[in-house]
Amino acid sequence: MYSVNYHRAASVADAAKLVKNGDAKLLSGGMTLIPAMKTRLAAPSDLVDLSRIKDLQGVKVSGKTVTIGAATTHYDVANDQKLQKACPALAHLASLIGDPAVRHKGTIGGSIANNDPAADYPAALLALGATIVTNKREITADKFFKGLFETALKDGEIVTAVSFTAPAKAAYEKFRNPASRYAIVGVFVVKGKDGVSVAVTGAGDDGVFRSKEIEAALAKTFDAASLNGVKVPAKNLMSDIHASSDYRASLIAVMAKRAVAAANA
């Protein structure tokens, strides 16, 4: 790791000020940023730690509206009883991220701001039509996630929360990379008042995306059987030593089917 200057932010406003230092980066759980710094792939001059800002932590559910503070850990998302009732699929998703020690530190805000193409949360937020709240504005998920490790965030802009309307039905199915345990394919399906939406992570060569083929097949009947014989094109899917694009395409259909079955269960 290169030398770095650490700052602990007392508030979001404080963080916004501190992040103007040099080539500063925001630090939340650090589960991606610190490994990247250790291998010297990331070299920020300064780190602004958001993890102790109380305002950024916790899950709120009011009616159908769910709001999750950006610095809420995966562990707290997975184990929040209100969320387990309002949107069990998202709590379940959080319980599948990394391992127990990673979930104790990693946060939802950190994960989405990083937008790793194999991360789990982006699929959920895209499928849920969530809103990403920053210290400056609100951004819808479809505008927020922009390709590999790219988001709509401007320099120094801080994610403070995500919010969404709890859907009637939802589920997430993840097929792990056997080595890294990130998603090779993760499919989040939602049946809400605006219809069906299906988002896929781990597979797209430009990051998280919605699968038109799966959504079309489910539009009439939200049933696993509706996906029999549905083919997802391998075009624009990633290919690496762990999974070819053909394999990923096949897995998308399989995981979607299992997710729909789980959502209906």
Partner 1 sequence: MGIEGVGARVARKEDKRFITGAGRYVDDMVVPGMKHAAFVRSPHAHAQIKKIDVKKAQAMPGVIGVLTGKELKADGIGNLICGWMIHSKDGSPMKMGAWSPLAFDKVRYVGDAVVIVVAETKGQARDAAEAVEITYKELKAVVEATKALEKGAPQIHPEADNNLIFDWEIGDAKATDAAIKAAAHVTRMKIVNNRLVPNAMEPRAALGHYDKADDHYTCWTTSQNPHVARLVMSAFYNVAPENKLRVIAPDVGGGFGSKIYIYPEEIVCLWASKKTGVPVKWVADRTESFLTDAHGRDHVSTVEMAFDTNNRITGFKVDTIANLGAYMSLFSSCVPTYLYATLLSGQYDIPTIHANVRTVYTNTAPVDAYRGAGRPEATYLLERTMEAAARELGVSPAELRRKNFITTFPHQTPVIMNYDAGDYGASLDAAMNVSDYAGFAKRKAAAAKQGKLRGIGMSCYIEACGIAPSAAVGSLGAGVGLWESAEVRVNAVGTIEVLTGSHSHGQGHETTFAQLVNQRFGVPIDSVSIVHGDTDKVQMGMGTYGSRSGAVGMSAISKALDKVEAKAKKIAAHLLEADEGDIVIENGALKVAGTDKNVPWFQVALAAYTAHNLPAGMEPGLKETAFYDPSNFTFPAGCYICEVEIDPETGTTEIVQFVAADDFGNIINPMIVEGQVHGGIAQGIGQALLEGAHYDASGQLLTASYMDYTMPRAGDLPSFKVSTSNTPCPGNPLGIKGCGEAGAIGSPPAVINAITDAIGIADIAMPASPSTVWAAIRAAKH
Partner 2 sequence: MSDVSLMVNGRRVSGVAEDRTLLVHFLRDNLGLTGTHVGCDTSQCGACVVHVDGKAVKSCTMLAVQASGSSVVTIEGLANGADLHPVQAAFKEHHGLQCGFCTPGMIMTATDMISRHPEGLDEATVRAELEGNICRCTGYHNIVKAILAASKTMAKASKGKAKQAA
CA gyration radius, the chain: 18
For 245-263, letters b (16+ CB in 10 Å) and e give: bebbbbbbbbbbbbbbbbb
For residue 204, CA distances in Å to 105, 209, 253 come to: 27, 7, 14
Query: Minimum Å distance from CB 179 to partner 1?
Result: 4
Looking at 20-28, 106-114, 207-215, 241-249, which segment touches partner 1 (CB under 8 A)?
A: 241-249
For the chain, strand residue ranges (E) read 5-8, 24-27, 46-49, 59-62, 65-69, 131-134, 138-140, 159-165, 169-176, 183-192, 195-201, 209-210
Residue 123 C-beta-side C-alpha neighbours within 13 Å: 35
Query: Minimum Å distance from CB 49 to partner 2?
Result: 6
Q: Among partner 1, partner 2, none, what does residue 247 contact (CB within 5–8 Å per kind)? A: partner 1
Among 101, 168, 216, 225, interactor with partner 2 by CB under 8 A: 101
180 near partner 1 (CB under 8 A): yes
Q: Among partner 1, partner 2, none, what does residue 178 contact (CB within 5–8 Å per kind)? A: partner 1
Among 16, 17, 34, 222, interactor with partner 2 by CB under 8 A: 34
Sign for the pseudo-dihedral over CA of 229, 232, 233, 239 = negative
254 near partner 2 (CB under 8 A): no
DSSP summary character for residue 40: T
3-state SS, one letter per residue, for 231-243: CCCCCCECCCCCC
Q: Among partner 2, partner 1, none, what does residue 16 contact (CB within 5–8 Å per kind)? A: none
Q: Among partner 2, partner 1, none, what does residue 101 contact (CB within 5–8 Å per kind)? A: partner 2
242 near partner 2 (CB under 8 A): no
State the binding string over 164-203 for partner 2 (x if CB under 8 A, else -): ----------------xx----------------------
- Residue 57, token pair as written in the block: 């932590």
30 near partner 2 (CB under 8 A): yes
> Which is nearest to 110 in space by CA: 48, 174, 33, 187?
33
Query: Minimum Å distance from CB 40 to partner 1?
Result: 8
- Is the distance from CB of 255 to CB of 186 less than 8 angstroms? yes
Query: Minimum Å distance from CB 184 to partner 2?
Result: 16
Name the site residues for partner 1 (rule: CB under 8 A).
1-3, 39-40, 175, 178-180, 241-244, 247, 250-251, 254
